Every structure is written in structure tokens, then in C-alpha cells.
Structure 1
Amino acid sequence: MRNATLARHVVAGAAAGAAGTTVLNTVTYLDMALRGRPASGLPEQAAGVLADRVHADLGEGGTADNRRQGLGPMLGIAAGVGVGAAYGLYRYATARRRTRPLDVGAVAVLASVAGNAPLTALRLTDPRTWGATGWLSDAVPHLAYALATIATFDLTRTRPRRR
């Protein structure tokens, strides 16, 4: 029974992370539309670097570009679903010992680290150089991710009332 409950928490967390990722992407695209800023090329660059490191042939020219453009966002989706699964595990382990604001902050930070640490490790970005606008452009979508992930998780774990 405990393993089934653990699995349900992790799966609910992964699904909540997918919902949170959709919200993060929506907030990011809204920011792009409002400010007229271009999409980041970092996810595609990361996909290319990682493909090179594992000796994966993405093809040549336009085909390779298209594959990088497809693989780059998938890295972000994997991070979002993974952070959601980790949140499900956390909720399983802590039961009722949680504080909502602390959870939101922790999930937002974890999501930001999960998305940015690989890019930093690959030397594709340096958060020390971002400035206030760069940090705000990163923090707001990750905060929206955290709120959506936690709310979705709570909805999946709440039992309907019987009348």
C-alpha cells in the first residue's frame, strides 16, 4: 500500500509539473509578446551541445537545426515534469508538515535551478551577468510554474466530498 501511495504521489507530481510547465511557457510567451523580445536560443544550443557530447548525429544543415529546435524545448519539459515528480515525492515524505508560501518559494527556486543549472554548466549562460530584467524574466515564469504545479497537485490529491 505504501508503494502504491508513493507512486500515486510521484505520478500526480509529474502531471502537476506538466501543468506547471504549460503555465511557465504561457507566461514566457506572453512576456515575449508584450515586450517584443525574441525567444531564447539557449535550449536549442543546449540540445546541440548535449547531442555532440553523446555523439548523437542530428543530421546536417536545416535538418540539424530543426532537430535542435525540437529537442531544446523538450529539455525544459523534462525539467518541469521532473521537478513536479520531486514535489510529489516531497509531499509524500512530509505529509502535513508543510507551509504553502515556503513550498511555492522552494518549488520556484528548484524549477529555476533545474532549468538554468545545465545551461550554466554547459557555459551557455552566466546568471551573474543577467541584470534585474533578466532575473525578473526568469523569476516570474518560475513563480507561475510553482503556483500552478502546487495547485494542480492539490487538486489531484483532494478527495471529492460525498453528499
Structure 2
Amino acid sequence: MDHSAVLADAFGRIQDEVHATLSGLPDDALTYRVDEGANSIAWLVWHLTRVQDDHVAGVAGTEQVWTSAGWDERFGLPFPTREIGYGQSPTDVALIAASADLLLGYHDAVHARTVAYLATISEADLDVIVDESFDPPVSRGVRLVSVLSDDLQHIGQAAYVRGVYERR
């Protein structure tokens, strides 16, 4: 298996888990929070998708799906267009009240763009420095693995919140 296939498989597992976590959930489950300071399923899925969209577009040198395909308008959130959720307050988290269909549509569009991009990169492309603001500087490969790590953590958190919601 080559580098692109490995990365595409990893991002595909995130997509599978997003679908499994959102499947059959009632609307009130999407905004359920374990406590007032916790993240909801809707926020977690929106955020992990925004991070993937932002960071993959960044290394690809393309516009984000969020703006290029009008997802920012469909969500209609009261945040700046470039917001990805990092450091948001519990009050901000409560403002994400998207439907499962909207979250899945956006996630699937970002996933499709991610997989298409991965098919275009060479093994050598993974070593290219894409962010010199860190020490050590961040390569394309490290950035992609960072996105995978962040997304896997957040979809695991969303699955956990679903379990808590279903057992309450």
C-alpha cells in the first residue's frame, strides 16, 4: 500500500465513524452536552470537519470547501467565516445546532476533497515544509497526521457523548 492509500484509508475511517456516530440520532441528541461546559456531538463533528477542511486546503493551496461550496451559508453560524472552533467557549459550542444531514453533507464533501488531494501528492511531497511558525517546522506529512489525530480524538468524543445520551 502506498502513502496516498494509507492516508486515504485513515481519513476514510474518520468518515465511517462520523456516519456511525450520527446515524439514527434524534435532533436533541446532536446538541446534548454532558454538562454545560462540555462539547456537543454537533459541535465536535462540525469542528473536526472544519479542521480537516482548513488544514487540508492549507497544504493543498486551495479554497476551503466551507466557502467554495457554500457550506458557511448553509450552516448560517454567527462566527467569522474562517472560524474552525479552536478555543471556542461553551456559549459558542451551544450555537452549533446543525442537523445530522447538514453535518454529514459537509463532512462528506470535505472527505471527497481530501481523498482527491491525497491522490495527487508524491511521497516526496510529504517532506515539504508547510508551516515554519513552529520549531521544528511542520511538514505536509506531519500536518496531515496531525489532522488525523485531532479528528480521531473528536469523533471518539462524539461517540462517547452519543453513548452517554443513549444511556441517560
Q: TM-score range by the shorter chain?
A: 0.3 to 0.5
Structure-1-length-normalised TM-score: 0.35
Larger Rg belongs to: 1
Structure-2-length-normalised TM-score: 0.35
Please identify which structure carries the higher helix content. 1
